[in-house]
Amino acid sequence: MKKMIWTGLIVLIFFIILAIFAPFISSYDYKTQDISLRLQPPSLKHIFGTDELGRDVFTRMLYGARVSLSVGLLAVIIATFIGVLYGAVSGYLGGVLDNIMMRIVDIILTIPVLFLILMLIVYLGPSIINIIIIIGLTSWTDIARIVRAEVLKIKNSAFIESAKLIGLPKRVIIFKYIILNTLGPILVYIVFGISGAILIESGLSFLGLGVQPPYPSWGNILMSGKDYIHTAWWLILFPGVAIFLTVFSLNLLGEGLRDLFNPKLKKE
Amino acid sequence: MIKILQVNNLKKYFSIEKIFSEKEKIVKAVDGVSFSIKKGQIAAIVGESGSGKTTLARCIAGIEIPDEGEIFFEGKLLDFSTKEKRRKIQYIFQDTYGSLNPRIKTGDILAEPIRYHFNLSGEKLKEKVKEFLKKVGLNENFIKNYPHELSGGQRQRIVIARALTMEPKLLIADEPVSNLDVSVQAQILQLFLELNLKDKITILIITHDLRIVYNLADYVIVMKDGKIIESGKTDTIFLNPKSDYTKNLLCSIPNSPYKNQK
Amino acid sequence: MRNIIEIKDLCVNYKISSNEKIYALKNINLNIKKGETVAVVGESGCGKSTLAVSMIKLLPENAEIFGSIKIDNEEILDKNNQQLLDIRGKKIGMIFQEPGASLNPVFSIKEQIEETIKIREKISNKDVLKNIGLNLLKEVGIKDEKRVYESYPHQLSGGLQQRVMIAIALSLSPEILVADEPTTSLDVTVQAQIIELLKKLKIKRNLTTILITHDLHLALELCERIVVIYAGEIVEDGFIRSAKDAHHPYTKALFEIIPDIKKKIKKFKVIKGEFPDMKENFKNCSFSGRCEFSKAKCRRYQPEVVRVGKNYVKCFYPLKG
């Protein structure tokens, strides 16, 4: 369990450092084209080779990491904010309101998310901000349901009853008693949510509906590479591996955190 | 002596819905119960599982709202709609682990109610927390522990200390020692005796263990199926039980001296 | 009479991490004669349940086990799983604390009783099986055995469930019955009935009965011989009826902390302190920290087992009684 968390964390921190210090790590610029150098295989000068416009793939990967990671993180923050609020209100207040709110969630869940995203992007235009907002707005339902279930469970627990008996104010009960005890599952969702959002962004970029050139993202590097798959393997391999490693380590981290927050496993 | 608590014809029914059947099953958890407890007494409600003893206690503490009947506390009729205002009646849950917020340290568990109840902060608040810890026989090192780091007996003490911060007149304890080992049980029971003697707190204890009742309680209420079978002074009930049910209970105690009299 | 169980220098440790162990049982020596009724009394975490499952070598994977357990002169600890099957159920029947959790909720009582007999006794005739099953239920005092036989576990009360568990434990006619806290989750009146039943069965089947319990009075109700365990060690073993017969301070304290119903005193005798940490391997007397009679020697060395009257006591200064 601890191994999973540490492995996931180390890989992620490595990618985050690369993304933050991109300008210091690479001396190239991500958008300077040089047709004379197009489709160079990996060499000491261009360790991941160059793309069809002669740009350094390694540099584009570094800047792409910035886009992919921040899209994942920001989209999930939006989703978590809406989801936690929605789920907590629904679970805490209960009754008819809870019923109505949860039926709305059920209706939203009947809409195929990917088609909804595609439609919205076509309608609003594919900018990074739009992608973040759209992914955020379409993926809050899961966390709303998780938070509602947790709140329901905690609301009926003996320690909430005890807190009421000793006359603690409502805000203390809500923040210190309810929200504090749902933090575990929320954190786990955030981790899994980021990996999901990164995959959606890569998918959109691959379809040409995500981050638009000249801005790089792992998805659109992959897309530009698909036409040269027989001659320039490096355009496919490196972004593919980067997406795989990021998503895999996020899932490891999430899996590990879920075990860590499971009080039953903890007590043993 | 003055009555601290008077319960008149209290009723609480629960309905159980079943998925595959139309019929609703009604469980009469408390079915027309009347009794009173005198100030300064230790009273015990005795019964087997399903007798309604816990539901009755929860109604008095204000955790459940009864369907019918009235409860007088210190002569005043309790209003069931203001259930959070019943500070002078405190209730100790059977599941001590579940009744403590797992993410708050014991020091804060006690500090919170003191802060709102006594309006204290800073050093004075810390002093008060220590005072309550001392009262339940714990030293001040315990303020840094989380509930899961404590033993069962220590957790029970913290729960009692938290209830005491409200300066209750009536303390209701639901099976306070049933999850504890015998050697720790006696410590907690002795604590109840001391609270009754020194702090003059009236105590209502809910238990199935008649050995404890005999040595702890002044007054006993025997319940079965939501009704009171028999009630009276402890000595009267133990030496001269009237109902067959009580007699049966007494004979069922392991290694019971009553068995030979049968 | 011959010894049916001979336990010699039994030690059981549970590994919980690379450098931490729980020392659940330490140097247990215990002989039990055929037909004897013995109670193993101790607080939770003292190792009494470990002792029960050691006898059928049903320990979790992180357990280390040393010493010797002989049942009918056969060494249990050397046996492989296939050979152990002949011991489990056929030699030793077991019942546990939570009858509801030991029964499989999706099978009827009929299926659960018959399955064991079918596989182990290789009987396949349906009428014979049903006959055996119904007779078992009658034997454990179930009056409407036909209804119970067709029922599912959740339709039965806790007391009936425990009776069914006893019936299953007896289905392969074991010589030894080990009951691990058989009545802890039951009401007092039901508890009394189950104890009555165990008394009857012990005589009728000439069972060697081992009752594992935390309740000293329950032990006195059923058994003549009492084995007191504290922190993984047998501190006293003998014929104890009251505090007067107790020669170990812990046994005496156990009697005194349980409220009396003969004499009302309105005071509870308290054993100071808490149960010791079982992750420690004691070099001294494990009870010395809480004992009201302890002296410097007790806190430094480990006492040997000595004979006092009819009892064996692990104490430097056994009480005279």
* CA atoms of C217 and C241, how far apart (whole Å): 9
C18 in Cβ contact with C191 (< 8 Å):
no
* CA atoms of A7 and A252, how far apart (whole Å): 8
Report the CATH number that the domain containing residue B226 is assigned in CATH: 3.40.50.300
Average pLDDT, chain C: 89
What is the rounded average pLDDT of the residues B81-87? 63
| 8 Å CB contact of C217 and B216 | no
Q: For position A26, what pLDDT does the model report?
A: 82
Nearest to A120 by CA among A110, A132, A109, A106: A132
Q: For position B82, what pLDDT does the model report?
A: 61
Report the CATH number that the domain containing residue C19 is assigned in CATH: 3.40.50.300
| 8 Å CB contact of C274 and B151 | yes
Number of domains in chain C: 1
Report the CATH number that the domain containing residue A206 is assigned in CATH: 1.10.3720.10
Checking ipTM against 0.85, whether it exceeds it is no
Q: For position B201, what pLDDT does the model report?
A: 95
% of chain A beyond a pLDDT of 70: 97
What is the rounded average pLDDT of the residues B132-156? 89
Identify the burial level of B77 via C-beta atoms within 10 angstroms of its C-beta, where 0-12 means exposed, 13-18 middle and 19 or more buried: exposed
Q: Which residues of chain B have a CB within 8 Å of the CB of C254?
A: 182-183
In angstroms, the first-to-last Cα distance of chain C is: 28
Q: By mean pLDDT, which of A115-124, B76-85, C184-193 is the weakest?
A: B76-85
C65 in Cβ contact with C11 (< 8 Å):
yes
Q: Which residues of chain B have a CB within 8 Å of the CB of A168?
A: 112-113, 116
Count CA atoms within 13 Å of residue A127 on its CB side: 4
Do the domain assignments include residue C139?
Answer: yes
* CA atoms of B118 and B127, how far apart (whole Å): 12
CA distances from A237 to A14, A34, A127, A232, C58 (A): 19, 22, 26, 9, 52
pLDDT in tens, B97-128: 889 998 889 999 999 999 888 888 888 999 99
CA distances from C68 to A134, B205, C71, C232 (A): 69, 47, 10, 16
* CA atoms of C118 and A160, how far apart (whole Å): 51
- DSSP states along B151-211: -HHHHHHHHHHHHHTT--SEEEEESTTTTS-HHHHHHHHHHHHHHHHHS--EEEEEES-HH
* CA atoms of B213 and B43, how far apart (whole Å): 9
Confidence band, pLDDT 50/70/90 cuts, at residue C247: very high
pLDDT in tens, A60-103: 999 989 888 999 999 999 999 999 999 988 998 888 999 999 99
What is the rounded average pLDDT of the residues C52-78? 90
* CA atoms of B226 and B28, how far apart (whole Å): 6
Confidence band, pLDDT 50/70/90 cuts, at residue A224: confident
Boundaries of domain holding B128? 3-261
* CA atoms of C182 and C199, how far apart (whole Å): 13
Q: For position A52, what pLDDT does the model report?
A: 83
pLDDT in tens, C69-85: 999 888 989 888 888 88
Number of domains in chain B: 1
Which range, A212-221, B20-29, C142-151, is most confident?
A: C142-151
What is the rounded average pLDDT of the residues C43-66? 89
Do the domain assignments include residue A50?
Answer: no
* CA atoms of C290 and C310, how far apart (whole Å): 25
Specify the higher pLDDT residue, A192 or A44. A192
Q: Angle between the A141-155 and A95-109 helix axes, to the nearest 10 degrees?
A: 150
| 8 Å CB contact of B151 and C258 | no
Confidence band, pLDDT 50/70/90 cuts, at residue B22: low
Q: Which residues of chain C have a CB within 8 Å of the CB of B154?
A: 274
Is the model's pLDDT at B86 over the cut of 90? no
Boundaries of domain holding C50? 3-223
Q: Which residue has the tokens 């033993």?
A: B151
Do the domain assignments include residue C159?
Answer: yes
pLDDT in tens, B166-175: 999 999 999 9
Number of domains in chain A: 1
What is the rounded average pLDDT of the residues A48-65? 87
Q: Helix (H, G, I), strand (E, B), or coil: what is residue C235?
A: strand
Nearest to C108 by CA among C148, C136, C72, C157: C148
What is the rounded average pLDDT of the residues B236-249? 91
What is the rounded average pLDDT of the residues C288-293? 88
Q: For position A267, what pLDDT does the model report?
A: 43
B7 contact partners, CB below 8 Å, separation of at least 6? B33, B34, B35, B36, B56, B60, B69, B70, B71, B72
Specify the higher pLDDT residue, B90 or C258. B90
Q: Angle between the A141-155 and A57-93 helix axes, to the nearest 10 degrees?
A: 40
Q: For position A34, what pLDDT does the model report?
A: 80
Nearest to B72 by CA among B55, B84, B89: B89
Q: Helix (H, G, I), strand (E, B), or coil: what is residue B51?
A: coil
A242 in Cβ contact with A65 (< 8 Å):
yes
CA distance B83 to chain A (A): 9
Is the model's pLDDT at B200 over the cut of 80? yes
What is the rounded average pLDDT of the residues A124-137? 88
Among A165, A167, A267, beta carbon nearest to B148:
A267
Is the model's pLDDT at C89 over the cut of 70? yes
Where are the extended beta strands (E) located within chain B? 3-17, 24-38, 42-46, 68-73, 76-77, 89-92, 170-174, 202-207, 219-224, 227-233
Q: What subunits touch chain B, counting only 3 or more CB pairs under 8 A?
A: A, C
Sign of the C-alpha dihedral, residues C307, C311, C316, C321?
A: negative
B227, β-bridge pairs: B224
| 8 Å CB contact of A167 and B87 | yes
Do the domain assignments include residue A85?
Answer: yes
Confidence band, pLDDT 50/70/90 cuts, at residue C321: low
Q: By mean pLDDT, which of A188-197, A225-234, C171-180 is the weakest?
A: A225-234
pLDDT in tens, B205-217: 999 988 899 989 9
